[in-house]
Chains A and B, each alone.
Chain A
Amino acid sequence: MTALDSDVLVIGSGAGGATTAAALAGAGRSVTVVEEGPWIDPEATEAFSLEEMVAKYRHRGGSAALGSPPVAYAEGRCVGGSTEINSGLWHRLPPELASEWKETYQIEEFGGDVLDRYSDQIEADLSVSRLPGAPPPSSAVLPQGAAELGWRSVEFPRVFRYDGEGRGTKQTMARTLLPRAVHDGAQLVADCQVVKLLRRHDRVVGARCRRRHVDGTVEHLTIGADHVFVCGGSIQTPALLQRSGFRTNIGNGLKLHPTIKIAARFPQPVDHADVPMHRITEFAPNLTIGGSAGRRGHVALALADSGSGHAEAMADWEHVGVYYAAIRSDASGRVIAVPGLRSPIVTYRLTDGDLSRLARGLILLGEALLAAGATHLYPSITGGAVVRRPDELVQWWDTVTRDRANLMTVHMTSTVRIGERRARTGADSFGRVWGTTNLRVNDAALVPDAPGVNPQATIMAIAARNCDHFLAG
């Protein structure tokens, strides 16, 4: 058994973990970051490719929340976490949600103004920016459709740095904050799974880990620490806490953005290497319309869902893009660590209201795509009819059912909510787990509810705020 010691142990290296490591190492603390997944050179795989799924996704992308219908989801499992696999879109938390959550959960020093201060700094640090030139065709169809219908749309900035020729590089954590943390003295240990936190009364004194080496051998490792930050994301963080005996309000408030898709066929070719950066915000934050990864494999999957006309449309795949409608959901789910199972069981039970909102979202998305010139729409509904004209969209109303809707998500939050209302939260206003003195959560699990937008900006702003509070304490 190997033993390491550190002032601060950060478990997980995604948006929350990397922010924590960089802030604390930069302040001179002794920091060790452990990441379950491997280090993968960010240049090694094409974005959203099969190779990327194999190398960087947990379960190779094959995770699902059980329910009716089940909701497929994806998580990163590599150094940098989900920032290595996401679209890099950057949305600040809508201020009205920050105010609502502050009141509902009694969160101290929380609000749009507080988070904006941190967002300003992070955005400057990570070069959050808009495209330097015209948008690609796959993205341009969204503002075009919105304009035809008199709806609002916007180009969201992304965590991308552009060179002089307009080529963008996503500023993932493996490219930015993690190297900075290491430069400031942090130790980064990849391929190292934390099995359990080690407790002594109300303190966590370290973690028991399994580190896999390149030759296949496994090293058992104990890392002692004065302070522990768990940053494994909304699924893995509550699972680790439960395995370590922390269960009160841990894992039982899972929120996600159920998402339904349309493969849209256009007369002109659309691009496939990137994710559209425009969103239709007319119905935000409760309903967001945008574009998905649309490589050949994704187009094939999206077309296959409806079933009809799949082969003919696939022959024309370079003219097909994949778009989505995502909702804020009434429902919530659970993350349950079961002894003997390596992965937690995740459940999510959509409400009938959620299904109605998804049907509405699907139809509004269809309207926008037809207004933008799409000639055929293939919904992600088993046996869903192909639509060619706006008056045909109405037939989708009754097809978004528990039996036929094929849903997915990439945004999971709220499994260890923050706030002073102990009956409803798993951690205090700054992420300290109730009943402990030195165990903190600092990732998407803290976000009290689904933000209706990509949560990376919210996660990083809250994490930076919590680090300042920790350092001032």
Chain B
Amino acid sequence: MFWFERQVVAALLHSRDDLARSAVEAYVDGALAALPDHIRAGVAAESVLFGGWARLRGGPVDLERLDRSRIGPARQYARLLRSLVLFAEHELEPGAAG
């Protein structure tokens, strides 16, 4: 994962438990690595771009800004990472099938 991807994942995680956080981060890392080459390349390019902007701007990751962006790929970037984190957080808990 790129630096900005780690920041986004950390910001999205709800759990305070280190083991649970690590498990979700590992899942997201694997899921991003498994993406089709061209989609991973696009996501990586956005990570570098948004990461550069975040470092210049300083402060915490502003996911809402990405969510509200007029640029489709920026919104999809936020949705992708949010989906991966949410799915893993809820599926890694016991009793996910009810």
Contact = CB atoms under 8 A, between A and B. Distances in A.
Interface stretch (A205-213, A295-303, A357-365, A411-419): A295-303
A49 B37 contact: no
Contacts of B35: 59, 62
Contact of A50 (B36, B75, B91): B91
B54 interface: no
Contact of B90 (A271, A300, A318): A300
Nearest to B37: A341
A295 B97 contact: yes
A343 B96 CA distance: 31
A343 B39 CA distance: 10
Contacts of A338: 38
B34 A295 contact: no
B69 to A, nearest CB: 10
B83 interface: yes
B58 interface: no
Given A46-B97, A295-B96, A318-B98, A301 B86 contact: yes
Interface in B28-55: 30-31, 34-39
Interface string A43-77: 00010011000100001111110001110000000
Contacts of A54: 27, 30
A402 B73 CA distance: 12
Interface in A448-468: none
Given A50-B87, A68-B72, A301-B86, A296 B95 contact: yes
B31 A300 contact: no
Contacts, number: 86
Interface residues of A, number: 36
B44 to A, nearest CB: 14
Given A273-B97, A304-B83, A297 B38 contact: no
A271 B37 CA distance: 37
B30 A49 contact: no
A102 interface: no
Interface in A10-62: 46, 49-50, 54, 59-62
B37 A50 contact: no
B72 A297 contact: no
Nearest to A46: B97
Interface in A270-314: 271-273, 295-301, 304
B82 interface: yes
**Interface size, B (range):** 20 to 34
Given A50-B92, A300-B87, A272 B76 contact: no
Contact of A345 (B31, B38, B96): B38
Contacts of B93: 296
A338 B39 CA distance: 13
Contact of A296 (B38, B39, B98): B98
Contacts of A295: 91, 96-98
B85 to A, nearest CB: 10
B96 to A, nearest CB: 4
Interface string A261-276: 0000000010111000
Contacts of B31: 60-62
Most buried by A among B37, B95, B96: B96
A342 interface: yes
Contacts of A345: 36, 38
Given A297-B90, A304-B82, A342 B37 contact: yes
Given A297-B86, A300-B86, A403 B72 contact: yes
A59 B36 contact: yes
A382 interface: yes
A171 interface: no
Interface of A: 46, 49-50, 54, 59-64, 68-70, 269, 271-273, 295-301, 304, 317-318, 338, 341-343, 345, 382, 402-403, 406
9 contacts: A46-B97, A69-B72, A295-B96, A295-B98, A297-B91, A299-B90, A300-B86, A300-B90, A343-B37
Given A49-B97, A273-B97, A301-B83, 13 more contacts: A50-B88, A59-B35, A59-B36, A60-B31, A62-B31, A62-B39, A272-B98, A296-B96, A296-B97, A296-B98, A297-B91, A300-B90, A304-B83
Closest 8 CB pairs of A and B: A272-B98, A343-B36, A297-B91, A50-B91, A296-B96, A273-B97, A297-B87, A60-B34
